[in-house]
Amino acid sequence: MPFASTAAEKAGLVPLAGEPAEGKCLAGAADAPVFAWIEVRAGRRNIWVAAPDAPARQRTAYGEDDGIELSDLVLSRDGKRMLFVRGGDVEFPESNLPNTGAAVEPPAQALFIADVGGSQAPVRIGLGHGGAFSPDGARVAFTRKGEISVWNGGDVKAIASVAGSVEDLSWSPDGKALLFREVRKERSFVGLIDIAGGTLRYLGATLGHSSDPVFSPDGSQVAFIQFRDPPAKLAHSTASFWSVRVADVATGAVSVVWTAPSGEGGQYSGTRARNLFWTRSGHLLFPWERTGWMHIYALPATGGTPRDLTPDANEVETFTPTPDGQAIVYAANAGNLDSRQLWRSAIAGGRPTRLTQDDRFVFRPVFGGGRLAATATDAARPAHMVLVDGMKPLGAVPFVRDYAKPETVVFKAADGVDVHAQLFRGKGKGKGRRPALVFVHGGPRRQMLPGFHPSRYYSNSYVRNQAFAAQGYTVLSVNYRSGTNYGRAFREAPDTAREGAAEYRDILAGGQWLARQADVDPERIGIWGGSWGGYLTALALARNSDLFKAGVDLHGVHAMVRPVEKGYSPEEEAKAHQRQWDSSPMGAIETWRSPVLIIHGDDDKNVDHEQSLLLARELAARGIPFEELSFPNERHDFFRYENWLASYRAAERFFARTLGDPAK
């Protein structure tokens, strides 16, 4: 069955209907049960809106696979208006403008406003991103290349210009001030602008990072997280590296209300969304890995001892306070590391209450007024928006009838580490043992699940793995160490990446596990993956061409050597560079024998296109067979549906040639 004829492609599910790469998709109004979200179907990006008792409707009318992203979706408090950005790159909003559709001029990155209930075309406010409604919805603040501007319904006025990039822009409760995080090289600050007075102040600047600034409910104070990263030489230090601080808006005085003690959780790590809230109950909510797992804690804003609100969560992925400030709702894998469900926990105490069930995966809780919505998936349904009460869909729910749920398997690496994976069993009536593939996700801070992923990139990967299984390949998707949702020790495992590529032990163990299966031909095992998965694919082919007979490497890293921190002595620096080289595919290039398909976009901001140019030259010089697919102007997470299809079809043809027809 060719990929082009799968039910998923016919339904337009590559890219997925749901969340853009890593940007926020589902938005809710603070004071009304109104929701909006972004859908991507066959490359056509549009915004949909709905209320619990009103049918969903498409609010924008973009009809081309033009590679122009939609992002930064925000609703006004009353749910009557929405903001969004069209153009640019949601992951790198301040970079050069992407032009993946090869327009004569790159599409602008612009902020638009529209009435949720209307039908008129959205109105362009100005160039920029990061839009935020004022509390009364009458004004909009936004940013572009360090400049902060305010739109008052007609005119746009620049009110400040800073040296760094602006993030987390928000209004004070009275609408008189703007709060933001300014990110500079290896540091960040909390900035506060008095709009009427025309003044800018920085609150509690340190020799590190200040993040997640938030106003107190009355606007008189600002809380933020302050942290610094440990030096590379002491990457696993258990010293204290972070704290929670509160600044007085009137005086600028800053107090440390809590400091992480040394030991487990002494280093700061956050969730995939906002990491600090100030509730109406007078509590600060933040993540902490004191138990070795990402849990959410409540701390009185005046200081004291934090209390764990999620004691049974295993790993919390995202969380949000309830509108009344008396509880939190969070997405976690409590009871099953390879799941994702929603839970509610009261700040005052008591056991958490489970809100969703095991028949699907549920992510990113969002309130619209007093109603709770979230993103849901399962083995046959890609990301779609639901009301959590009754799991009622907010809009249409695409369904791929012939997708079987992958099996969850656990095996051990050579050093005893437990490795979780999903097994897509090959279908078809081919005689004898079938070919098999190892799939390697990117990140590496990621976890694949036995169902559709909420992000576009990995939803695409899931579709491709299901299609490979339908064609007769058995596919093993490996959640290797340094990934998320298996605890801090797994995520921060020693000797990974440039320090020794320890995560490759898990990939090798996955290939060996496949080779032992009775229905798998051990001489026809391939491997594929993108980004960090491309790196590990290339490393597998370089080190173990005896096991991995072919590979598809999408925008992978091939030479890991880079400058080290200044804290190293010259001798230590030389040893660090040698470790980096030994951890690279290039470090084992002389034993590479298997053919590979290399795929890369040449405007990639995550992994330099030069990495694939280097690999192609080195393989050509050694007579190692490779094929290539290059996309001019394309980014890391391909913006155009056409380029995803071209990549996946090329991968299908490549494996059929190198591993043999799985149907025979």
Structure tokens at 629: 């697919």
Q: If you write DSSP's letter for every residue of 210-278 in order, what string do you get?
A: EEEEEE-TTSSEEEEEEE-PPPGGGTT--S--EEEEEEETTT--EEEEEEPPSSTT-S----SS---EE
Q: Answer yes or no: is 31 within a domain.
A: no
Q: Answer yes or no: is 102 within a domain.
A: no
Q: Is the pLDDT of residue 556 over 50?
A: yes
**636-649: per-residue pLDDT in tens?**
999 999 999 999 99
Q: In what order do the strands lie in the sheet with 147-151?
A: 129-133, 140-144, 147-151, 156-161
Mean pLDDT throughout 416-436? 92
Q: Is the pLDDT of residue 543 over 50?
A: yes
User: Three-state SS for 469?
Assistant: helix
Confidence band for 53, pLDDT divided at 50, 70 and 90: confident
Q: Is the pLDDT of residue 43 over 80?
A: yes
Q: Is the pLDDT of residue 240 over 50?
A: yes
Cα distance between residue 614 and residue 293, in whole Å: 39
431 or 169, higher pLDDT:
169
Cα distance between residue 522 and residue 387, in whole Å: 46
The pLDDT assigned to 567 comes to 85
Cα distance between residue 565 and residue 562, in whole Å: 10
**352-386: per-residue pLDDT in tens?**
999 999 999 999 999 999 999 999 999 999 999 99
Contact 40, 31 (CB under 8 A): no
Contact 50, 395 (CB under 8 A): yes
Q: Is the pLDDT of residue 225 over 80?
A: yes
Q: Answer yes or no: is 287 within a domain.
A: no
**293-321: per-residue pLDDT in tens?**
999 999 999 999 999 999 999 999 999 99
Domain count for the chain, please give it: 1
Q: What percent of the chain has pLDDT over 90?
A: 91
What distance lies between CA 106 and its chain's CA centroid? 25
Q: Is the pLDDT of residue 7 over 60?
A: no
**26: closest CA among 387, 409, 431?**
387
Q: Is the pLDDT of residue 537 over 70?
A: yes
Q: Answer yes or no: is 449 within a domain.
A: yes
643 or 17, higher pLDDT:
643
Cα distance between residue 447 and residue 486, in whole Å: 9
Q: Answer yes or no: is 456 within a domain.
A: yes
Q: Is the pLDDT of residue 221 over 50?
A: yes
Confidence band for 54, pLDDT divided at 50, 70 and 90: confident
The pLDDT assigned to 11 comes to 35
Structure tokens at 357: 């069930």
Confidence band for 20, pLDDT divided at 50, 70 and 90: very low
Cα distance between residue 629 and residue 599, in whole Å: 5
Confidence band for 24, pLDDT divided at 50, 70 and 90: low
Helix (H) or strand (E) holding 283: strand 283-288
The pLDDT assigned to 23 comes to 39
Q: Answer yes or no: is 209 within a domain.
A: no
Mean pLDDT throughout 91-113? 95
Average pLDDT, the chain: 94
121 or 563, higher pLDDT:
121
Query: Which domain CATH number covers 511?
Result: 3.40.50.1820
Residue 591 φ then ψ, to 5°: -105, 5
Which of 13-17, 32-36, 276-280 is the least confident region?
Answer: 13-17
Q: Is the pLDDT of residue 13 over 80?
A: no
Q: Answer yes or no: is 630 within a domain.
A: yes
**332-344: per-residue pLDDT in tens?**
999 999 999 999 9
Mean pLDDT throughout 60-74? 97
- Angle value at C-alpha 402, between 397 and 404, nearest 5 degrees: 95
Q: Is the pLDDT of residue 4 over 60?
A: no
Residue 443 belongs to what domain range?
407-659
Q: Answer yes or no: is 214 within a domain.
A: no
Cα distance between residue 136 and residue 172, in whole Å: 11
Confidence band for 565, pLDDT divided at 50, 70 and 90: confident
